[in-house]
């Protein structure tokens, strides 16, 4: 009997440690669900799986061993709702998707350790940490365009045409597309709204400096999409 409790304790400790490691990375990067959240998710998932698989040995005869599969499904579904709670929309960007995926994966890690599958659990933990830490650097190094939602508001009497605005942005090597226009403030403000594609982040700073001097410009706003 004591051997069972020792094995259960090791399973729970391993899941707790794995969840803590994943959560530590999230906390380090300032995410809402961090160290404690991931540690608890891993521990809870392991506890559910350990209870299901060791119920007969722990004198819980009313909990059949075959229910481990249903426990797995229930845990992963329930944790999915928990992960949805950390996803939020900020401007045009959706934030928290990676953290939500981490919470869900941490539950899977907890289930693996709870079932006593230490090698798979360890491999998944290492894969998660590699994805979060290593892929972050790789993603930053990969060349690729940056997309920005841009709004320009001009005095309606001196607002440039759409073609002219696109030409004004071209020297900064910025392409504007999906452009929409509107006339507001009783016809006094002419607004352009569209997406910008920029090759490098420093080009956004250059663009900010250059658009300040546009004739008739009242205000502008740049909101980076993604990341």
Residue ranges per structural domain of the chain:
2-141, 146-224
Strand pairing partners for 95?
88
- The radius of gyration of the chain from alpha carbons, rounded to an integer in Å, stands at 26
Mind listing the pLDDT tens digit for each residue in 133-163?
Answer: 888 777 667 667 788 889 999 999 989 888 8
CATH classification for the domain delimited by 146-224, as one of 3.30.70.260, 3.40.50.720, 1.10.645.10, 3.20.20.70: 3.30.70.260
How far is 79 from 103, CA to CA, in rounded Å?
A: 7
Mind listing the pLDDT tens digit for each residue in 10-33?
Answer: 888 999 899 898 988 888 877 767
What does the pLDDT read at residue 220? 92
Banded pLDDT at 61 (limits 50, 70, 90): very low
Q: Can you tell me the mean pLDDT for 180-209?
A: 86
Q: Is the pLDDT of residue 115 over 80?
A: yes
By DSSP bridging, strand 174-184 and strand 88-90 are: unpaired
Q: What is the DSSP annotation of 50-62? A: HHHHHTTTTT-TT
Q: Is the pLDDT of residue 42 over 70?
A: yes
Q: Is the pLDDT of residue 85 over 60?
A: yes
pTM of the model: 0.62
Q: Is the pLDDT of residue 114 over 70?
A: yes
Banded pLDDT at 89 (limits 50, 70, 90): low
Helix axes 2-28, 97-114, angle to 10 degrees: 170
Q: Which helix (H) or strand (E) holds 219?
A: strand 217-224
């Amino acid at each position: 009997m004591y051997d069972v409790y020792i094995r259960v304790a090791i399973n729970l400790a391993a899941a707790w440690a794995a969840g803590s490691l994943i959560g530590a990375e999230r906390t380090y990067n300032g995410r809402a669900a961090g160290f404690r959240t991931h540690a608890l998710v891993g521990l809870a998932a392991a506890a559910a799986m350990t209870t299901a698989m060791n119920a007969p040995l722990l004198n819980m005869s009313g909990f059949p061993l075959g229910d481990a599969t249903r426990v797995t499904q229930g845990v992963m579904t329930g944790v999915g709702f928990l992960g949805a709670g950390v996803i939020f929309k900020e401007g045009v960007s959706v934030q928290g998707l990676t953290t939500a995926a981490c919470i869900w994966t941490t539950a899977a890690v907890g289930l693996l350790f709870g079932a006593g599958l230490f090698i798979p659990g360890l491999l998944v933990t290492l894969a998660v940490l590699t994805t979060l830490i290593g892929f972050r650097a790789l993603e930053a190094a990969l060349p690729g365009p940056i997309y920005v939602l841009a709004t320009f508001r001009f005095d309606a009497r001196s607002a440039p045409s759409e073609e002219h605005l696109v030409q004004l942005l071209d020297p900064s090597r910025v392409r504007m597309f999906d452009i929409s226009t509107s006339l507001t403030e009783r016809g006094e403000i002419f607004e352009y709204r569209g997406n910008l594609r920029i090759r490098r982040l420093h080009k956004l700073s250059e663009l900010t400096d250059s658009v300040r001097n546009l004739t008739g410009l009242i205000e502008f706003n740049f909101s980076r999409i993604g990341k």
